[in-house]
Chains A and B, each alone.
Chain A
Amino acid sequence: MSRKDWLAGFKKIVYVMLSYIPLGLACGIALDKAGFSPFSVMIMSLLVFAGAGQFMIAQLVSVGSSPISIIVTIFFVNSRHLLMSSGLIQYLKGKSIGFYLLFAQTIVDETFGTNITQFTTNPDWTPSKALTTNLLAHFSWIISSFCGTLIGQNINISLTVVNYVLVAMFIAMLVEQVVSKVHLIVAIISGILAIIFKMLLQNNISLVIAAVIASTIGFILSNKTQTDQKHNSLRGEHDN
C-alpha cells in the first residue's frame, strides 16, 4: 500500500473516523462502567471491532449475562457481516491470505458502505485503497474507545445524540445505494420487514432475515423487468 493509497483512503473515510470519536468514547465509557479495564477495551476493539456489538457486551455484562449467551448474541448481532463480506469479495480477487484476514477483520457497516460505493462508482478504487479505509477506521475506533475508558464517568454525553450519529450516516449511505426504481422498492420492503422481524424476534438477526428476503424480491423483480423488456423488444421487431 503506497502513500497515495493511504491518502485516497483517508479522504473517503475521514468522516467515519470523526464519527467514531463520540461513538468510541461513549462505548469506552460504557465498557468501563461494566468493569472492563482500559487495556482490555483496547484488545476488544482490536479483535472484535463492532460498535453495536461492543455496546451490547457492556449492557449484557452489567445485567449479569453468562459469557456463552453474550458470545452467541454478538454472533447474531454481527451475522450481517456475512452478507457484506460476500458482497465485497467480487472486487477483491487474487489477493494473499494475509490480505483477506486483515480485510475481513475490518469489515463493519461503515467501511462496507464506503467501499461498495467506491467500487461501484469510482473506476480508480483498488483493493489496497479499500484496505486503507478499513484500517484507518479501525485505528480511530481503537483509540476512541480506549480514550473513553480513561475519561470514564467524568463526562456526560447524550446517548441519544451519540447513537444518532450512526443513524444519520446510515441514512446517507442508504440514499447513495438507491440507484434505480427496483432498488427503491426493495429498500422500502427491507425497511418494513426489518421493523416487523425486530418486533417479533427482539434480536438483530432480524436485519439479516429482512435483507435476505428483500434482496430475493429485488432479484426476482429485476429478472422480471428484463424479461418484460426482452418481450417488448421482440414484439417491437415483429410489428415492424
Chain B
Amino acid sequence: MTTEKWIIIFGAAIATFIPRIIPMLFFKNKEIPPSLTKWLSFIPVTIFSALVFSDLVFWENNLSFNPLVNLKIIPSLIVFFIAYKTKNIFISMIIGIVAIALMLLVF
C-alpha cells in the first residue's frame, strides 16, 4: 500500500478528531450559559432531521418525491409510523429494511 494512503488515514484521523474534541475541552470546566444549553437542546432533532431528509428525497443523486421512482419514500413513511407507535428503534429498523428490500424486489 502506498504512503499516500497512510497520509489519507492519519490526515482523516486528525480531521475527524478536531470537531469531536474541541467542545469537550472547551466546556469541561466551564458552565455552559443557559441560553446555549437551550439552543443546543434543539441540535439532536435538527441534526437527525437534516440527516434523514437530505438522504431520503434523493434517489441515484436526483431529487425525487415520486414514491414509484424513489423507493425509499414508502418504507420511510412506514418507519416513521412504526417508530411513532412503538418507540422502538430496533423494530422500526427491521421493518424498514424488510420494506426497502421488498420495494427493490417488486420494482
Residue numbers of A with Cβ under 8 A of B are 15, 19, 35-37, 40, 43-44, 47-50, 53, 57, 61, 67-68, 70-72, 74-75, 78-90, 92-95, 100-101, 103-105, 107, 109, 112-113, 116, 158, 160-161, 163-165, 167-178, 183, 186-188, 190-195, 198-199, 206-207, 210-212, 214-216, 218-219, 222-223
The number of A-B residue pairs with CB atoms under 8 Å apart is 270
Q: Does B69 contact A (CB under 8 A)?
A: no
Q: How far is the CA of A49 from the CA of B14 in the complex (A)?
A: 11
Across-interface contacts of A177 in B (CB, < 8 A): 44-45, 48
Q: Which of B50, B75, B95 contacts A193 (CB 8 A)?
A: B50
Q: How far is the CA of A219 from the CA of B36 in the complex (A)?
A: 9
Q: How far is the CA of A85 from the CA of B1 in the complex (A)?
A: 34
Q: How far is the CA of A188 from the CA of B48 in the complex (A)?
A: 11
Across-interface contacts of A175 in B (CB, < 8 A): 80, 83-84, 87, 92
Q: Does B18 contact A (CB under 8 A)?
A: yes
Q: How does the 8 Å CB contact mask read for B37-81 relative to A, with 1 for contact and 0 for none?
A: 111111111111111111111100001000000011001100110
B interface size (C-beta, 8 A): 71
Are A48 and B16 in contact, with the CB atoms below 8 A? yes
Query: CB-nearest residue of chain B relative to A107?
Result: B20
Q: Which of B13, B80, B93, B95 contacts A48 (CB 8 A)?
A: B13
Q: Which of B8, B15, B92 contacts A168 (CB 8 A)?
A: B92
Q: Which of B10, B22, B45 contacts A85 (CB 8 A)?
A: B22
Are A100 and B24 in contact, with the CB atoms below 8 A? yes
